[in-house]
Amino acid sequence: MAQENRSSQTPVSTTAHSTPAVAGLDYAPNAGPGELVSGRTIGLVISTAILFAILAIRSDSFLSLYTMAILARQIAFFVIIALAQAMCLVVGGMNLSVGAIGGFTTVILGLCIDKGHMPGFLAVPIALLVGSAAGFLNGTLITRLKIDSFIVTLSMMFVFMGLRSGISDGAPYRLPDSFSYIGQSLGVPYVFLITLLVLAAVSYIFANTVFGRRLLATGGNPDAARLSGINTDRMIVHANVLSGFFAALAAVLWASMLSSAAPETGNDWLIISFAVAIIGGTGLTGGVVSGLGILMGAAIYMLIRHGLVELKTNDYYANSFVGALILLAIILDRAREVYAKRSTPPA
């Protein structure tokens, strides 16, 4: 049978160079033997380090504990929003209603606490549940009606935005001071710790569990996944539930930071969620995600926005930089792919 192989290929020895799946922050479906993280993620870590170094050199106040804490809190928050998007991207879809679900759950939270006089430990789970239910609704519509996730979540975005404005009349709800304990903590902010825990859990799920790998398989090739016995419809629903859950979690954390439940929460999340997820190396066509990558994506996003303020450029241009950055991230990724293709002969 030697004829069918290129001479460089040899049969696999049973265990010699097989490396176990990595249980770290990064799941690298394309990582070769022995690679802990994919090349893409390493690039992100290096970019973050460079940005960090530039800011540390150019600004006096950057390395202060206070700035670090504020930045960490923001980054943590962006990570959660990006996760809400990444969950849907992983299965090959998208969720345009992340921000709308965020706004909607913020209003539910405010309603429960301000009008319903519920304690936080009751209102927060209700808000998370409502967010998950919204995701469940998205997922069910996508899979049952076989409509593209773009159309479904675009429509549902308007539905949730309407509900949000209708219920709240556009006015913010007041939250008790005790509620801001988590969101406003500095030092090592609780929000950051919570996010690290969430990221570790997500990474563990994708790297090690049947559930995570079925999500990845569903995004990687839905037909192949289905014909391999994976209920891909159920996976898509689960992904949307997780997406709704993370949107709600972000909403709760945001309300805790503001100590108010503002209905306009979530208005800018759609762009942020895509930006951070894409810069963080989440595959737009599904099947690829990295927890560490998303953390780095959020850090790069935040450092650039912060950097523009620090360097006293006109902050109004910030979005243009972010847009260019997203393009750059995709171009670099495409270039890697093209290069990889060029260097292998056609099969």
Of 330, 329, 342, 333, nearest to 48 by C-alpha is 329
Q: Is 338 in the site for other proteins (CB under 8 A)?
A: no
Q: Is 225 in the site for other proteins (CB under 8 A)?
A: yes
Of 103, 287, 291, 293, the one binding other proteins by CB under 8 A: 287
Q: Is 146 in the site for other proteins (CB under 8 A)?
A: no
Restricting to residues 30-89, which ones interact with other proteins according to CB under 8 A?
30-33
User: Among the candidate windows 93-101, 135-143, 205-213, 238-246, which touches other proteins by CB under 8 A?
Assistant: 205-213
Q: Is 1 in the site for other proteins (CB under 8 A)?
A: yes
Q: Is 238 in the site for other proteins (CB under 8 A)?
A: no
- Residues contacting other proteins: total by CB under 8 A: 52
- Least Å distance, CB 143 to other proteins, is 13
Q: Is 6 in the site for other proteins (CB under 8 A)?
A: yes
Binding mask 12-31 for other proteins (x = CB under 8 A): x-xx-xxxxx-x-----xxx
User: Among the candidate windows 81-89, 213-221, 239-247, 318-326, which touches other proteins by CB under 8 A?
Assistant: 213-221
Q: Is 314 in the site for other proteins (CB under 8 A)?
A: no
Restricting to residues 318-337, which ones interact with other proteins according to CB under 8 A?
none
For the chain, give the secondary structure using H, E and C: CHHHCCCCCCCCCCCCCCCCCCCCCCCCCCCCCCCCCCHHHHHHHHHHHHHHHHHHHHCCCCCCHHHHHHHHHHHHHHHHHHHHHHHHHHCCCCCCCHHHHHHHHHHHHHHHHHHCCCCHHHHHHHHHHHHHHHHHHHHHHHHHCCCCHHHHHHHHHHHHHHHHHHHHCCCCEECCHHHHHHHCCCCCCHHHHHHHHHHHHHHHHHHHCHHHHHHHHHHHCHHHHHCCCCCHHHHHHHHHHHHHHHHHHHHHHHHHHHCEECCCCCCCHHHHHHHHHHHCCCCCCCCCCCHHHHHHHHHHHHHHHHHHHHCCCCHHHHHHHHHHHHHHHHHHHHHHHHHHHHCCCCC
Q: Is 115 in the site for other proteins (CB under 8 A)?
A: no
Q: Is 298 in the site for other proteins (CB under 8 A)?
A: no
- 26, 205 Cβ separation under 8 angstroms: no
- Least Å distance, CB 13 to other proteins, is 8
| CA count, 13 A, side-chain hemisphere, 201 | 10
- Least Å distance, CB 315 to other proteins, is 40
User: Among the candidate windows 4-12, 88-96, 112-120, 235-243, which touches other proteins by CB under 8 A?
Assistant: 4-12
Of 57, 169, 314, 343, the one binding other proteins by CB under 8 A: 343
Of 67, 155, 231, 259, the one binding other proteins by CB under 8 A: 231
Interface positions with other proteins (CB under 8 A)? 1, 3-12, 14-15, 17-21, 23, 29-33, 204, 208-211, 213-214, 216-217, 220-221, 223-231, 287-288, 342-347
